Structure 1
Amino acid sequence: MTNINNTKNILYKWNNFKLKIILEGIIVGFFSGLLIVSYRYALEKALSFAKYIYALQLKNIFLIPIWVIILVIGGWIVGIIMKKEPMASGSGIPQVEGIVAGKLTMNWWKVILAKFLGGVICIGAGLSLGREGPSVQMGAAVGQGVGRIFKRIKVEEKFLITSGASAGLAAAFNAPLAGVIFALEEVHKNFSPIVMTTALAASITSDFVCKNFFGLKPVFDFKNLRPIPLNNYFYIIILGIVLGIFGVAFNKCIFKSQELYAKQKWLSPEARPIIAFIISGVVGLTLPQVLGGGHEIIGSLVNYSFPLKVLLILLIVKFFFTMVSFGCGAPGGIFLPLLVIGGLIGISYGDLIKGLFGFNQSYINNLIILGMAGYFAATVKSPITGCVLITEMTGSFSHLLSLSLVCLTAYVTADIMKSKPIYEVLLKKFLNKNVSEFQCEEGNKEIIEIAVCMGSTLDGKKIKEVKWPDQCLLVSVKRGAEEIIPKGNTSICVGDYLVVLANEKDIDYVKEHLCLLAEK
């Protein structure tokens, strides 16, 4: 049987698949959109059911023991799902990054089934988890499925995985542009034109499918908001610093919560979600507003006025409940909970400066938006995605300047505090926990694109002057619309894309080595 990942086949398809990969991206976007629509609908019904059950228990106390038993069984089922399919645990975004980087493999249909079922059970219990992580991973799994069904080469399959991840985020939040930027900035970590066009095709298609079911309204409906005047931008800078500090704290607490669960040797890994499920039962009876992702909290903050004490209680409980829920490894994301926490920080900060410095009440709701964006930028370390995501989720383009400022300030603050991107750390933890040899067929090849940055080691050098890794071959240099056949005297310029061929088993080492040359 001929190996489709041999050198001849890969180089031939690389020069002929640019239009085809866009069409395949549309297919991935369509099926990802349908899947995420089903997932969102199931989560909404599950959360509504959970809130109904908790309200019913307050009227009929004898139902509480029955519900506790159901929660224990639900937590155990989720634990078994995680044990049978470790790739379905947690957010799923680190796993997708690991697959694209060549560090992990997954069985696409098993991941879809496990993530879908596990996520619905978790939200049905009320855990503080979001839909975006599972949506990204399930979209990526759809991309891999399309690649496997049509027997595409490895490099093409990875493009489809990235486009599926983009489509998943687009459908989760009605945010197609954020899906594309997230795929480039966080998942692929490369602003490749092919990745961008494929991801854009998938995101637009997925968002179109999603809007046919959920309508054209943005996820968060902020009405009649006026931009904050320029003479108040000092408050935005201070807010950015506060969000940066709290973002670092969020990351550290997430990691500590995982370590705390792991230290409980008496508790088997599949039993860990039971703890979170039981705590969810307590929270559901005492403060049901913080159940689930927390979408309703943002709506309430916009439409109603709350005392500062109430805001702080919601903030503290939501924060620690998210730690408990995510730390156990249950299938679910952290985007929505962290956005809600950021919004609560923003409005609490607004109430504080209103009382101390007379900040205009009519601009306080703007701080909810800024809080969400800045907190995302500090936690995920993806400021561009943060700006675009919140812009699309709120449907307002009048806050771009203030959004950019708060995201930049929060990002720089987190960077000064040497905080690492949360998904990068979670991927390392996942790899250390699930030590398995990456399986690949002998002779399989892959192609990667590396962008040359200004001031990097490669900038201005001739190809013969560079010490290239032994395990790779420089196939071509893309400069704008021109594709150059590399020779020893060919100079490398800023903005060039180096097209490199390598063995599949060496791809991780080659990519890391070349990124160091091209970026630093």
Structure 2
Amino acid sequence: MTLTRPDRYPRLLKVTWARWQRQIVFLLGGVTVGASAVALALLADQVQAAFALLVGKWRYASLVVTPAGFVLAVFLTNRYFQNSQGSGIPQAIAARELDDQAARGRLVSIRIAIGKILLTLLGLLCGASAGREGPTVQVGASIMFAIGRLSPRRQPGLILAGAAAGVAAAFNTPLAGIVFAIEEMSRAFEVRTSGLVIASVIAAGLTSLALVGNYAYFGTSPTMLRTGADWLAVPVCGVVGGLAGGLFSRIVVVVARGLPGLLGAAIKQHRLPFAAACGFAVALCGIASGDTIYGTGYTHVKAALEGGVPLPWHFGLLKFAATTLSTISGIPGGIFSPSLAVGAGIGANLAHLFAGAPVDAIILLGMVAYFAGVVQAPITAFVIVTEMTENHAMVIPLMAAALIAWLASRLVCPEGIYHALAKGFLRQEPDTAAAH
């Protein structure tokens, strides 16, 4: 029977209110992600300062603390917070591709988010060369997944929105959060979820602004390439940074999939001793670097860009080694900030080839090239570096360097690190489901 007009209004009101309820819940999710990102950032600064104070009093303390911390982090990860290892971005990507709710819950959940925060802080507390931004992505995806139980049909979109909000709030880079969601998380533009992603990014960004104010992650850098000769640094940084980033990704992916022979079997069976060995090697890198490669690398890169403080010639090489060891050890921790720091070291070294060129401009090219080589997401790379430095004069050279680096990286590692690692989590799901 056809509804009469008086019957139609209550139904319309009910449907409209239900839609607004969902939108409000999603916005609250964005606010929660933003607050979590700020809390993780502030706590990360505190634990890194505590470790710096320790090695400042006894610089060889890392030879004990770092291996012990790695072992504890891997033990807690495997025992209580499975699937929280690494950056967390591959888990978020895999969760989007799964259809089963229980399988998704094994990759993104509130329990994993709590473990991710605690164990990322533990890694930084013991001197790991790791970042907090990738973990923020998994935390954001986990928060949105929990909220998404109220709207099951929108689960993949919510995970995407949570990941984008995590990047935006972690770096104070809203555009990079949106681009990251499109280019890396979904690799497509989805009209149905675009509004949800943007709303979540806005909510997370405003929360971050309210709590810590507006800021550029690496400070403001007005530098630019001045002469035609300076532009030669673009292809050089692109090729060198891209190849180095591809090498890092190749090592991480190969180790994650399992090395062949006895060595691979030994690593798989003895994860704690392997973590201890990685931690000890990171400590050696730290001592050799003069205690500059621990943590995210943020302080040294910002000093180089804003204050012109030169980076040691060995900074990029030792940071590369320490980040590689921290990543393959199995501890939770991201690679965003450490990758930018490695790229800064590469750029600082390459700047010696271009006499008269602004060093900070070459550093930016190194940062974007290495980062694009690692993640193989060139648009995200140049957008995030541009936003983090508020430097729009370098947009074109950064774009060119990122594109060249992406092409160079694929010669070494044919597939982006996050999607390659995500396949590992997707492959393990049938075994996990069978076990349950």
**What's the TM-score once normalised by structure 2's chain length?**
0.86
Greater relative contact order (CA < 8 Å, ≥ 6 in sequence): 2
The residue aligned with 1:294 is 297
CA apart distance, 1:271: 4.5
Percent of aligned positions that are identical: 24
Partner of 1:483: none
Q: CA deviation at 1:277?
A: 3.1
Q: Confirm whether residue 208 of structure 1 aligns to residue 206 of structure 2.
A: yes
Provide structure 1 residue ranges, at least 5 long, that are not aligned to the other structure: 1-13, 355-359, 440-520
Q: Superposed, which structure 2 residues align to 1:355-366 within 5 Å? A: 360-361=356-357, 363-366=358-361
Name the stretch that deviates more: 222-231 or 201-210.
222-231
Mapped contact 2:90–2:422 kept (Cα < 8 A): yes
In structure 2, what residue type is equivalent to 1:409? I
**Which protein is bigger by CA-based radius of gyration?**
1
Q: Secondary structure at the match of 1:251?
A: helix
CA contact (8 A) 2:348 2:362 kept: yes
1:467 alignment partner in structure 2: none
1:66-118 residue CA offsets vs partner (Å, 9 max, x unmatched): x7655455333312222132211111100000000117422511111110111
Alignment partner, residue 104 of structure 2: 105
Seen in structure 2, the aligned counterparts of structure 1 residues 435 and 54 have a Cα distance that, compared at 3 Å, is farther
Amino acid corresponding to residue 44 of structure 2 in structure 1: L
| 3-state SS in 2 of match to 1:86 | coil
Q: Aligned runs of 1:432-511 on 2, under 5 Å?
A: 432=427, 436-437=431-432
Residues of 1 paired with 2:209 and 2:139: CA distance?
19
Distance (whole Å) between structure 2 residues aligned to residue 345 and residue 75 of structure 1: 27
Q: How many positions carry a matched residue from both structures?
A: 409
Q: How does 1:319-468 map to 2 (within 5 A)?
A: 319-354=320-355, 360-361=356-357, 363-416=358-411, 419-432=414-427, 436-437=431-432
CA shift digits 1:394-447 (9 cap, x unpaired): 1122211111111111122233556211111112234446653559xxxxxxxx
Bigger mean CA deviation after superposition, 91-100 or 213-222: 213-222
Residue 290 of structure 1: SS of its match in structure 2? coil
AA matched with 1:225: T
User: What is the one-letter code of the residue matched to 1:236?
Assistant: V
Please point out which of 224, 247, 250 is paired with 1:249.
Answer: 247
CA distance in 1, matches of 2:135, 2:175: 19
The more displaced of 416-425 and 184-193 is 416-425
Structure 2 distance, partners of 1:338, 1:290, is 12
Match 2:266 to one of 264, 267, 277: 264
Contact 2:247 2:413 in 1 (8 A): no
Structure 1 equivalent of residue 170 of structure 2 = 172
Contact 1:166/1:199 (8 A) holds in 2: yes
SS in 1 for 2:373: helix
Question: Deviation per CA, 1:221-268, whole angstroms, max 9, x where unpaired?
Answer: 144423444564333123212222222222123235544684435963
Higher strand share: 1
Alignment of 1:299-314 (within 5 A): 299-302=302-305, 303-306=307-310, 310-311=312-313, 313-314=314-315
Preserved CA contact (<8 Å) 1:87 1:106: no
Q: 1:246 to 1:230 in 2, by over 3 A?
A: same
- TM-score with structure 1 setting the length: 0.72
**CA shift digits 1:369-400 (9 cap, x unpaired):** 12111222222111111121111111122211
Q: How far off is 1:337 after superposition? A: 0.9
Aligned residues: CA RMSD: 2.7
